[in-house]
A = this chain, B = another copy of it.
Amino acid sequence: MTIELYDTTLRDGTQGEHINLSVQDKLLIAERLDEFGVDYIEGGWPSSNPKDEEFFLKARKLNLRHARMAAFGSTARALDNIEGDPNLLGLIGSETPVITIFGKTWKAHSSKGLGLSDDENAELIYRSVQFLVAEGREVFFDAEHFFDGWKDNAAFAERMINAAVEAGASRIVLCDTNGGSMPHEVTEIVKRVREIVSVPVGIHAHNDSDMAVANSIEAVRAGATQVQGTMNGIGERCGNANLVSIIPNLMLKLDSEFSNVRDLKQLTSMSKFVYEILNLPPDSKAPFVGKSAFAHKGGIHVSAVMKESSLYEHIDPALVGNRQRVLVSELAGQSNIRYKAQELGIPLPDDNSLFRNLVNQIKKLEHQGYQFDGAEASFELILRRELGQFSPYFEVLESKVHIENGLDVRAVDQAVLKVAVGDEVEMTVSDGDGPVNALDKALRKALRGFYPEIRTIKLIDYKVRVLEEKQGTSAKVRVLIETSDGQTTWGTVGVSTNIIEASLQALKDSLNYYLFTNHSKATTAVPAEEAVRNS
B398 adjacent to A401 (CB under 8 Å): no
Digitize A404-421: 1 where CB-to-B-CB distance is under 8 Å, 0 elsewhere: 111111010100001000
A208 CB, nearest partner CB in chain B, Å: 5
Q: Is the CB of A474 within 8 A of B433?
A: yes
B399 near A401 with CB under 8 A, answer: no
Separation in Å of the A75 CB from the closest CB of chain B? 14
Is A207 an interface residue, CB under 8 A from the partner? yes
B436→A210 contact, CB < 8 A: no
Q: Which residues of B lie under 8 Å from residue A466 when comparing CB positions?
A: 462-464
Given A242-B210, A472-B458, A472-B459 in contact, is the A294-B237 Cβ separation under 8 Å? yes
- Give A414 to B320 CA distance when docked, in angstroms: 51
Contact in complex: A293, B237 (CB < 8 Å): yes
Q: How far is the CA of A297 from the CA of B465 in the complex (A)?
A: 28
Which of these, B180, B217, B331, B498, contacts A434 with CB under 8 Å? B498
In the complex, A90 has a CB within 8 A of chain B: no
Instruction: Decide: B236 and A298 in contact? CB cutoff 8 A.
Output: yes
**Listed stretches A10-18, A91-99, A195-203, A353-361; interface member:** A10-18
A321 CA / B401 CA spacing, docked (Å): 47
Partner of A285, one of B106, B238, B467, B500: B238
Interface range on chain A (Cβ under 8 Å from partner): 35 or more
Within 8 A of B (CB), among A175-227: 177-180, 182-184, 207-211, 213-214, 217-218, 221
Q: Are A210 and B245 in contact (CB under 8 A)?
A: yes
Contact of A308 with B213 in the complex, beta carbons under 8 Å = no
- Asked whether B497 lies within 8 Å of A109 as measured between CB atoms, the reply is no
Chain B contacts of A253 at CB under 8 A?
Answer: 180, 182, 209
Q: Does A503 contact B (CB under 8 A)?
A: yes
On whether the beta carbons of B458 and A254 are closer than 8 Å, the reply is no
CA distance A179 to B313 in the complex (A): 8
A25 within 8 Å of B (CB atoms): no
The A477-516 residues at the B interface (CB cut-off 8 A) are 477, 481, 496-501, 503-504, 507
Say how far A25's CB is from chain B's closest CB, in angstroms.
13
Determine if A238 and B286 form an interchain contact, defined as CB atoms under 8 angstroms apart.
yes
Q: Tell me whether A178 and B308 are in contact (CB under 8 A).
A: no
A249 within 8 A of B: yes
Bound complex: CA A330 to CA B48 (Å): 13
Which A residues lie at the B interface, using CB under 8 A?
A: 14-18, 20, 48-49, 106, 108-109, 112-113, 145, 177-180, 182-184, 207-211, 213-214, 217-218, 221, 233, 236-239, 242, 245, 249, 253-254, 279, 284-288, 290-298, 300, 304, 307-308, 311-315, 327, 329-331, 371, 373, 395-409, 411, 413, 418, 432-437, 439-440, 458-475, 477, 481, 496-501, 503-504, 507
With A17-B291, A209-B253, A237-B293 known, 11 other A-B pairs at CB within 8 A are: A15-B297, A113-B304, A179-B287, A182-B254, A208-B314, A396-B407, A399-B405, A405-B501, A413-B498, A458-B472, A464-B465
Q: What are 27 A-B pairs at a CB distance below 8 A? A: A15-B298, A16-B285, A17-B292, A48-B300, A113-B311, A178-B312, A178-B313, A180-B315, A184-B218, A208-B314, A209-B253, A209-B314, A210-B245, A237-B296, A238-B290, A279-B467, A395-B407, A396-B406, A398-B406, A398-B407, A399-B404, A400-B403, A405-B501, A434-B497, A434-B500, A437-B473, A461-B470
